[in-house]
Structure formats: structure tokens, C-alpha cells
């Protein structure tokens, strides 16, 4: 991180209230859920006598429920208040993760991951407003803290899954339940009661109506195609490597750190130099090349490709969102909801189909080739020139909004 970025980070963490730190802690645990199961996929398959296609449903059920629930969390928060929504989400995660540890079949585990995804949607969609409302130093400092929580969660999730998974595949679920239970208690005690303020109402159909804008629709579909490639890496690499939970956890810890650094530090610089749309097209084509690299023989090549893909993913997570936030006149919450709905549907679909693609095409490397094709299609969609100019900056908080799920 640059000296300026280091200074900003120090300024952001100084003098923050207990509410901010407690919510950020809970956010770290919530974001850990994305990569927590990655190192233990093979252990789960062995312990529950499940096929790779069944095990990857742990991603698709988690994401599928979460992305649909995100369309209603805004209305829920407006009706019941931010604190109640946060606590409801945390309680669902605590119960779901505890029951995951006791699951007796892959079907039960997939269903419980769906409940986990529902709780995550309630919590993550509301945590930002809590941090922004309570943070000192304004919205910029709050966003930096939230992005730091995202990066820590993505990096620590695979490590925790690897360490506890080395004892039993049930261990990571127990650990997450305990940590999130602590977050639930702290939030219940220390978060301030919701102020009785009037909130703008957002209809359920508004995010879907926003997608009628051609530029936003192309960006959202392009992001869905890229996110499918993203989850091909996340859900399928452990089966290609066939290594221990600790080894996979360390690899994806490095991947998560690269995602965080590139999204916060590098993406704004690339957008300033090339413009959002051009930078996104270049980055997604680079991701296509990396997918083809992952399809090459040699596990050392796969490991290198995964870690480097974290840098490109960090760029794309921010750049795609910056484009989505600037391409239409829709209010940011509405545009973000429609964009994220499409984006994470791509991830859920990929996690569901990746094992089948390997079987249909008769090669364990075939999913990576398919992912490369999807990235090329995404670049083609983004290359279509819209009416609006290509801004050479990212909207404030774009990196954060792109990762709210």
C-alpha cells in the first residue's frame, strides 16, 4: 500500500466508536463465509459420500438465496430498523452454522448453507449503513474500514477453514458459529437503537426496472459472466489440486489478500489512467487469459494462476461496480441492487454447473476453458459503446458496493 493509503488507513481507524469496531468485527466473520468451505470441500465430499457436483452446491445455495434476499433487505431494514435487521441476520448465521456442524448428509448441509446465505444478506446489506452512521471521519473513513473488513474476511476465511478443517470438516462451522455468536452478543449490547427517521421507500420491482437501461444491463450481464468465472476458480480449484485443507487454505489466503489490495489500491489508479469501461474490458480479457493458464497441466501453474487471479479479481470487483454506478441515472441503491442481483446469479449458476461441465466435456480442466469463453463474452458486452462518456474515476464507495454480497 502506498504511503498515502497507509496514512488514510491510520486516520480511518483513529477514534472510532465501539459500534464501528463491533460491526466491522462481525463483517469480517460474515465475509469469511465466502471462502470458509473452500479448503474442506474434499473433506466434506469424503465425509458425506458426496460427488463434486453435490459439494459445489454449497456455494450455489448460499449465493442463490443471498442474492434473491438482497432485493428485499432494503425494505426490511426500512420497516424494522438497521439494528433489528443486523441482529436477525447474525442470529440466522449462528443457528445455520451450528447446525451445519451436525449435518448428516450433503442435502442437509446444502439447505443449511442456504439459511446461512439468507442471514448473510440481512447482515451485510445493513452493516454498511451502521458503520457509516457511527463512524468518525465521515463516509470515506467508514468505507475504508468496511473494505478492510472485507479483505480480512476473504483472507482469513480459507485459513480458518484449513486449520479447523485439518481436525474435521465440521470444525470450521463450529468455529464460525462461536465467533458469530460473540458478534451477535456484542451487537445486541452495544449497537445504538435505531433512530425513527423517514427512509426512502424502494419497491421490489425497482432494481429490476433499472436494468431496462441498456448500459446497466450490459454491465450487469457482463459482470454475471465474469463472476461465473470467479466462482469456477473458487469452487473447482480444490478438486483439481486434490491437496490438503491447509495447503488449499494457504493458497486462497494469498488469493484473498491480492483481491483486497487490488480492489482498494490498484483499481482506482487503473480507472484514472484508462477510464472505467476500458480498464474493465482490459482486465476481464486478462482474466480470460488466466483461465486458460489454469487449464494447462501442472499444479504449480494452477497455484500461480489462482494467486495472480486474485489481483485481477480485485480490479474487476471494483471496476465493474464503478461502471455500473456511473452508466445510468438510477439511484445508487437501486442500480446496485439490480447489478448485484445479476452478478451473483452468475456465481450461483457457475457453482451449480462447474462439476457437470467437467463431466460433460470429459476433462477436469474444461471448466476453466468455459470460464475463459465467458470472460471473452463479458468483454464483448462491455466494449459496446454507450451514450455516456467513460469517466476516469470511480464513484465514491464503488469498491465497497461491488462487494456488499
DSSP notation for 125-148: HHHHHHHHHH-TTHHHHHHHHHHH
**Residue range 343-366, pLDDT digits in tens:** 888 988 888 888 889 989 888 899
Give me the sign of the Cα torsion angle 294, 300, 303, 306.
negative
Query: Which percentage of the chain shows pLDDT scores above 70?
Result: 80
Mean pLDDT in residue range 26-35: 77
Question: How far apart are the C-alpha atoms of 391 and 278, rounded to whole Å?
Answer: 10
73 and 207 within one domain: no
Question: How far apart are the C-alpha atoms of 64 and 105, rounded to whole Å?
Answer: 20
256 and 217 within one domain: yes
Last residue of some domain: 193, 214, 230? 193
Residues 6 or more apart in contact with residue 385 via CB below 8 angstroms: none
177 and 31 within one domain: yes
129 and 8 within one domain: yes
Last residue of some domain: 148, 172, 193? 193
Q: Are 94 and 68 in contact (CB under 8 A)?
A: no
Last residue of some domain: 161, 193, 225? 193
138 and 239 within one domain: no
245 and 151 within one domain: no
207 and 189 within one domain: no
Mean pLDDT in residue range 18-24: 76
**Residue range 211-261, pLDDT digits in tens:** 888 888 999 999 999 999 998 998 899 889 988 888 888 998 899 889 888
Instruction: Collapse the DSSP code of 84 into the 3-class scheme (helix H, G, I; strand E, B; otherwise coil) and give the result.
Output: helix
Question: What is the domain count for the chain?
Answer: 2
Burial (CB count <10 Å: 0-12, 13-18, 19+), residue 390: middle
160 and 70 within one domain: yes
Q: What is the CATH number of the domain that holds 112?
A: 1.20.1250.20
Query: 157: closest CA among 248, 60, 70?
Result: 248
- Rounded to the nearest angstrom, the gap between the alpha carbon of residue 91 and the centroid of all alpha carbons in its chain is 20
Average pLDDT, the chain: 81
State the residue range of the domain holding 61: 1-193
Amino acid at each position: 500500500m502506498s504511503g498515502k493509503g497507509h496514512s488514510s488507513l491510520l486516520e480511518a481507524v483513529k477514534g472510532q466508536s465501539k459500534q464501528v469496531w463491533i460491526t466491522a468485527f462481525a463483517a469480517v466473520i460474515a465475509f469469511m463465509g465466502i471462502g470458509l468451505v473452500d479448503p474442506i470441500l474434499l473433506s466434506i465430499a469424503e465425509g458425506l459420500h458426496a460427488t463434486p457436483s453435490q459439494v459445489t452446491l454449497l456455494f450455489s445455495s448460499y449465493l442463490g438465496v443471498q442474492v434473491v434476499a438482497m432485493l428485499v433487505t432494503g425494505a426490511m431494514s426500512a420497516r424494522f430498523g438497521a439494528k433489528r435487521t443486523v441482529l436477525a441476520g447474525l442470529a440466522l448465521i449462528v443457528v445455520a452454522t451450528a447446525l451445519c456442524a451436525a449435518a448428516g448428509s450433503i442435502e442437509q448441509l446444502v439447505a443449511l448453507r442456504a439459511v446461512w446465505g439468507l442471514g448473510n444478506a440481512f447482515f451485510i446489506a445493513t452493516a454498511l449503513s451502521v458503520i457509516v452512521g457511527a463512524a468518525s471521519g465521515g463516509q470515506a473513513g467508514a468505507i475504508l474500514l468496511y473494505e478492510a473488513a472485507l479483505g480480512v474476511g476473504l483472507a482469513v476465511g480459507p485459513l480458518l477453514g484449513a486449520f479447523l478443517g485439518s481436525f474435521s470438516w465440521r470444525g470450521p462451522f463450529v468455529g464460525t458459529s462461536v465467533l458469530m455468536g460473540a458478534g451477535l452478543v456484542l451487537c445486541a449490547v452495544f449497537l445504538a437503537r435505531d433512530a425513527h427517521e423517514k427512509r426512502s421507500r424502494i419497491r421490489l420491482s425497482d432494481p429490476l426496472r433499472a436494468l431496462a437501461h441498456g448500459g446497466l444491463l450490459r454491465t450487469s450481464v457482463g459482470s454475471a459472466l465474469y463472476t461465473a468465472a470467479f466462482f469456477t476458480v473458487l469452487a473447482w480449484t480444490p478438486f483439481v489440486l486434490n491437496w490438503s485443507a491447509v495447503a488449499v487454505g494457504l493458497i486462497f489466503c494469498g488469493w484473498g489478500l491480492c483481491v483486497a489490495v487490488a480492489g482498494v489500491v490498484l483499481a482506482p489508479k487503473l480507472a484514472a489512467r484508462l477510464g472505467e469501461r476500458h480498464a474493465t474490458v482490459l482486465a476481464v480479457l486478462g482474466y480470460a487469459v488466466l483461465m486458460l493458464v489454469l487449464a494447462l497441466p501442472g499444479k504449480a501453474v494452477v497455484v500461480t494462476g489462482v494467486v495472480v487471479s486474485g489481483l485481477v479479481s480485485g480490479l474487476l470487483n471494483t471496476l465493474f461496480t464503478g461502471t455500473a454506478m456511473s452508466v445510468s441515472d438510477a439511484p445508487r441503491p437501486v442500480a446496485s441492487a439490480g447489478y448485484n442481483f445479476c452478478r451473483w446469479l452468475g456465481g450461483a449458476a457457475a457453482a451449480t454447473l462447474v462439476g457437470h461441465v467437467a463431466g460433460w466435456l470429459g476433462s477436469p480442466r474444461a471448466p476453466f476453458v468455459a470460464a475463459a469463453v465467458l470472460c471473452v463474452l463479458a468483454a464483448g458486452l462491455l466494449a459496446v459503446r454507450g451514450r455516456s462518456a467513460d469517466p476516469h474515476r470511480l464513484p465514491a464507495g464503488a469498491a465497497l458496493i461491488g462487494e456488499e454480497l
